[in-house]
Amino acid sequence: MTSLLLLALSLPCVYSAQSVDSRATLERAGIRRLCTEADLAQREALPAPGTAPRAGLASPTRSPWIVASGWRFVRHPGTKYVYEVPAGKAALAAAEAFAYGADAALRIDPADARALGEMLKFLEALSSVDLPPVSDLAIVDDGSPITGEVMNLLARRNLLFDVVQTPSPRYRINIRIGAPGYPREEAADPSAFALRIRRQLTDDQRALRVYGSEVVICRLTADAGRARVHVINYGGREIEGLRIRLRGAYGNGEAHVAGGVGRLALQDQVVADGATEFSLPRLTTYAVIDLEAAR
């Protein structure tokens, strides 16, 4: 763990390596946005993204426990973060931060320099699209850890939420932990609580569904004319034929897939019953899908 890298693409980057060798490794990988130890001092630490076994809660082939930080970025968009990631996780962390537009730095293992360099190159090549995030419900943030854990589990289930300070009339569902209907005791089991919210919302009303994996989390941004879906694969294995359903009618679309895959056409696209479905032929660590609204 010798290298430091400031990720946020919109920010100036400074490098401070612990050795000349590691700095050279990063530069050979095309990584130029570097930072110093001092830059990291005021940043909130993030866990390494991925999946982790949890006895009794998850199994590798069913619902693995996902360690993801997207919910933190949604909750505190102005906070500066730092990942400290072991070998093999840097590219995923970079993709996760990028997908949410987070200001995050990475402390990486030099062995990841090449993979991270390729990911950064991919991210920089993506067209800039500034669309508002799509949410199906709001959660009133009281700042408590339990509310954060509910957000975590909502995100884990691809239940798209907005964070508000008071209930918002924009949403049919406003969750305030401790309010009637959302007792704190129930929220103590955030997974079951998130499932209850899902059923309250109903799957049919969800803006986004994912089929074919339990280890993919998406972020959806859209306006009236187009949509961008960020697709993050936390499982560490390439996924074929991931199926995505978006509420609304979309026409032309294409995917940009990291890991050297590049641009791919969407497959088996269907628009019916107020929703659009398509399959992503390949998903490595990360993909961006851009769609135009149907005319």
Partner 1 sequence: MGAGGGRMHRRSFVRLLAGTPFLRDFQMRSDIPALRVVSGYPASAKPGMPGPYPGRVVSIRSDTCVDTSTGAANDEVVREMMARGMRTLTGAGTTADAWRRFFEPSDIVGIKVNCGGYPHCVSAYEIVADVVRQLMGIGVPVSHIYVYERFQDQMNEVNYAPHLPEGVQIVAAERANRNVDNSGYDPATYLEADFFGEDDTRSNMMRLVSRVLTKIVNIPNMKDHGATGVTGCLKNIAYGSFSNVARTHQRGKSHTYSVVGALAAMEPLRSRTVLQIMDGLRGVWHGGPFARTTRYVFYPRQIMFGTDPVAIDRLLLDIIEKERRARGAISIWDRSPGSLRMDDTRARDADPNVNIIIREPGHVEYASTLGLGVYDRARIVIKDVDVP
Do residues 113 and 26 lie in contact, with contact meaning Cβ atoms separated by under 8 Å?
A: yes
Stretch that binds partner 1, among 17-25, 44-52, 146-154, 209-217 (CB under 8 A): 209-217
Query: Three-state SS for 295?
Result: coil
- Residue choice 142, 254, 268, 292 for contact with partner 1 (CB under 8 A): 268
Q: How far apart are CA 75 and CA 95, in angstroms?
A: 18
Do residues 59 and 51 lie in contact, with contact meaning Cβ atoms separated by under 8 Å?
A: no
Q: Please tell me the count of residues contacting partner 1 according to CB under 8 A.
A: 36
Stretch that binds partner 1, among 77-85, 127-135, 192-200, 221-229 (CB under 8 A): 192-200
Stretch that binds partner 1, among 8-16, 28-36, 142-150, 240-248 (CB under 8 A): 240-248
Do residues 15 and 23 lie in contact, with contact meaning Cβ atoms separated by under 8 Å?
A: yes
- Residue choice 108, 239, 246, 266 for contact with partner 1 (CB under 8 A): 239
- The amino acid at residue 268 is D
Query: Three-state SS for 2?
Result: coil
Nearer to partner 1 by C-beta: 106 or 283?
283
Q: How far apart are CA 2 and CA 15, in angstroms?
A: 12
- Residue choice 242, 258, 289, 291 for contact with partner 1 (CB under 8 A): 242
Structure tokens of 130? Answer: 């500034």
Q: How far apart are CA 215 and CA 89, in angstroms?
A: 15
What is the x/- site pattern for partner 1, positions 46-65, by CB under 8 A? --------------xxxx--
Enumerate binding residues for partner 1 (CB under 8 A).
Answer: 60-63, 157-158, 192, 195, 198, 202-204, 209-214, 235, 237-243, 245, 268, 270, 272-275, 277, 279, 281
